Structure 1
Amino acid sequence: MNTSQRPSPNQQLPRRTFLGLATGIVSGAFAAHASAQAPGAPGQWANPVHRVANAAMAVPKQSAMPMDSPGKAALRRGLDMARQSLEISRSEVNDYTAILVKRERIGEVTGEHEYMQIKVRNRKVSGGQMIQPFSVYISFLKPASVQGREVIFVENRNDGKLIAHEGGFKGKFLPTVNLPVDGMLAMRGQRYPMTEIGVENMIIKLIERGEKALAHEDVTCEFRKGAKLKDRVCTVLEVTQPTQRPDAEFYQAQVFMDDQLNMPIRYVAYDWPSRNGEPGSVIEEYNYLNLQVNVGLTDADFDPYNKTYNFY
């Protein structure tokens, strides 16, 4: 794309559903604990919502089948919580900002944590028409190898491509580029394309995986209240699949539901242990710290010509 022209709209990009991130330029590594750096502060809904702890206790009776094991009954309860959270996100959450801390296994290697400031506008549809496209802005904070990198993606614009530039020394010489979100460069060092980032996409995928786990009798599920991620009080849902099946995507998964926001703010999945009694290795981990909802993001927040950004 000519860097002197703005991106041109094209056909709507099909939306894949998951939580990951693709920026497409070589990823770096930085050893850090997910709960240790970026400051956390409580976000607020536009309207009051029930705390997740209360929601968990108010599941309709018909959602638990009579023959369910305790583990499966608990998982159904967790799925009801997730569906309620998804409905709230779709009806009440227009946008949000957060510090995203992610760690992913690529091939056989689980990388270090990456920190990034994100701005997200949720996709909104009214009367069958899209009135707000799914939009993402990312500014990498660390490690040093990616610090200063910026990425923008807006659904149904720029021929479905993301816009990115490098930071630091490389950013002084390398141009702003337009990349297919699922192309080789955009997917280098990433598990998922940029179209799958975000809390709402994470909720959708959690529901999909939970429903799949319900098909197996040996699945177990436990709740733990009073856990903390930074300064946020959470209810933790832990799902374990003891049997390693071809369609099972994790041995154990933990979901941290923010008790105030009724949103998942941490998801981590572990592989099956190589030996009994040993912990499994991390497959993927996503933390949304300092989550602030309905902050009033505008088109300028997703415009590469924004003077506070460093594109072009």
Structure 2
Amino acid sequence: MNCLYPVARHTRLAMLLAAPVILACSTLSVQSVIAQQSTGLTEPIYRVAHEEPAGETPATQIASRTVSAPLPAGINLTQRPGEHPLNPSLRFAQQSLIDLDKNIKDYSAILYKQERIGGELLDQEVAFIKVRHQPFGVYMFFLSKQNKGREVVYSDMPDGSIGKLNARDCGFKKRLGVFSLDPNGRLAMGGQKYPITKLGVRELTKELITVASNDVKYGECDVRTAQTAIGPRNNKRPVTLIEVTHPVPRPNTFRFHKAQVYIDNELRVPIRYVAKLWPTEEGGEAPLEEAYTYVNLKINNGFTDIDFSKDNPEYFKP
């Protein structure tokens, strides 16, 4: 890939909201299984600058078997008489954003990202990330084989305006040094759907609210929920799955045919989002449009300005 960083965007989603959720009306099949292929990647050591993997681990299974079960405490998706099936998820997302701003200042995670650009489904990207909400900042160290060692760091300006993205590529391109780029510019956006300023669970939650607010205007919508778990085999997180399906395409209105949002039951924020387009032929498979997953989420690490500065002595090492 020719991109300088992967951005987890959540705008195509059209799902729902905070913690990986999307909505609920009926229930998913007990036999429904969503799994990810082996990556050979492991959880890094989080307070070490480059967060190198600490050894080999088995494949990371993104989701285990989904089951119909009562919603956990704190996740209320009750549909009121006569209202749109998306409204419960929309309310939950709005409250989740309030709670997120109150309770989560920063976090680290492993981000899995895959996007379709120009009709082509690109390879999955994997990166260790640090994110701070105020002022907004992102650090990324890529772990996937094709670009392992690529680094990106970004921070908003003190007044909240858009800052510069600083990046260094991997391999022989390291000799080119660190580049300072406009995060919305052509070079920074090469091979990316969304700018780095849209990365993270907070931006995902905001986008879910925006999309759901639009979709409640239309009736063609099926919603269902289920319980499952996400994460490495030895560190799975219980989540609520909200799946939203638009059976009838509405060009320039609906952004997806089927979307799935997975909400962490404890943190009540979205940690996985998947969007699929309409099949090209009747009975065909719905093609993946984009997928973003945050695993090994560690919140409130006390990150400071140096964690999101190109002058951090632990970043961009030879």
TM-score, normalised relative to structure 1: 0.76
Distance between the aligned counterparts of 2:204 and 2:278, measured in 1? Answer: 22
| Equivalent position to 1:274, from 264, 280, 288 | 280
- Report the counterpart of residue 75 of structure 2 in structure 1: 56
Note if contact 1:52-1:257 (Cα within 8 Å) is conserved in structure 2: no
Distance between the aligned counterparts of 1:212 and 1:290, measured in 2? Answer: 32
| Equivalent position to 2:168, from 144, 157, 165 | 165
Q: CA deviation at 1:37?
A: 5.1
- Aligned amino acid, residue 299 of structure 2: V
> What secondary structure sits across from 2:102 in the alignment?
helix
1:244 paired with 2:249, answer: yes
Note if contact 1:52-1:260 (Cα within 8 Å) is conserved in structure 2: no
Specify whether residues 58 and 224 from structure 1 end up closer, same or farther in structure 2 by C-alpha distance, changes over 3 A only: closer
Distance between the aligned counterparts of 2:71 and 2:150, measured in 1? Answer: 36
- Report the RMSD for the aligned CA atoms in angstroms: 2.6
Distance between the aligned counterparts of 2:130 and 2:181, measured in 1? Answer: 20
Note if contact 2:125-2:144 (Cα within 8 Å) is conserved in structure 1: yes
Which stretches in structure 1 are left out of the alignment for 5+ residues?
1-16, 21-31, 42-50, 124-132
Q: CA deviation at 1:169?
A: 2.2
Which structure has more helix as a fraction of its residues?
A: 1
Distance between the aligned counterparts of 2:310 and 2:131, measured in 1? Answer: 15
- Aligned amino acid, residue 163 of structure 1: N
Q: CA deviation at 1:214?
A: 1.0
Which structure has more strand as a fraction of its residues?
A: 1
- Report the counterpart of residue 177 of structure 2 in structure 1: 175
Q: CA deviation at 1:38?
A: 4.7
Note if contact 1:93-1:293 (Cα within 8 Å) is conserved in structure 2: yes
Deviation per CA, 1:146-203, whole angstroms, max 9, x where unpaired?
A: 21111111101697220111122221x2121111111111011000011110110000
- Report the counterpart of residue 61 of structure 2 in structure 1: none
> What secondary structure sits across from 2:75 in the alignment?
helix
- Report the counterpart of residue 152 of structure 1 in structure 2: 153
- Report the counterpart of residue 13 of structure 1 in structure 2: none
- Report the counterpart of residue 232 of structure 1 in structure 2: 237
Distance between the aligned counterparts of 1:210 and 1:305, measured in 2? Answer: 40
Q: CA deviation at 1:89?
A: 1.0
Distance between the aligned counterparts of 1:114 and 1:95, measured in 2? Answer: 22
Specify whether residues 277 and 40 from structure 1 end up closer, same or farther in structure 2 by C-alpha distance, changes over 3 A only: farther
1:107 paired with 2:126, answer: no
Specify whether residues 239 and 19 from structure 1 end up closer, same or farther in structure 2 by C-alpha distance, changes over 3 A only: closer
Identity %, equivalent residues: 36
TM-score, normalised relative to structure 2: 0.74
